[in-house]
A = this chain, B = another copy of it.
């Protein structure tokens, strides 16, 4: 038997409807499933690594009313983004603490699928867990899917966990 814990990286993001600090339905599901079905009572044998990739202000809508007058304003923006990501990660780290499983969490900025695969290369976890929305081919064309990319390109085994049917919002592209 291996004595080193199995290191499971879980990619988590915020809810597209509720925003920060609420985790997306699929992140939440991926995390809870991992605890219930994989870690179970063997808490000392696993370590969970939470990666949140912050997508820098894709459309600018969040900040439509902001005025950037100095370099300092941009620094504040960055600080605020970081604070939001931290709030998200806090949710998962707290849950791990309650469950009794050791964990780590960090934030990176960029294109989620590229960053996740890059971090897998760097951290070399035993397993990458990605939640996915389980979209049909038509919906997929417009939103792309991070999970598909990771299954193909991540240099470790990948588990994809779809949302439960009763958790799918009216518009399946929401999460």
| A-to-B contact residues, CB < 8 Å | 1-2, 6, 33, 36-38, 40-42, 45, 126-127, 147-148, 151, 157-162
Among B33, B45, B158, B159, point to the contact of A40 (Cβ < 8 A).
B45
Contact indicator A157/B151 (Cβ below 8 Å): no
A40 touches B42 (CB 8 A): yes
Which residues does chain B contribute within 8 Å of A45, judged by CB atoms? 40-42
Pairwise interchain contact A6-B37, C-beta atoms closer than 8 A: yes
CA gap between A41 and B44 in the complex, in Å: 11
Q: A157-B161, A157-B162 are in contact. List 5 more A-B contacts (CB 8 A).
A: A1-B40, A6-B37, A33-B157, A42-B45, A158-B160
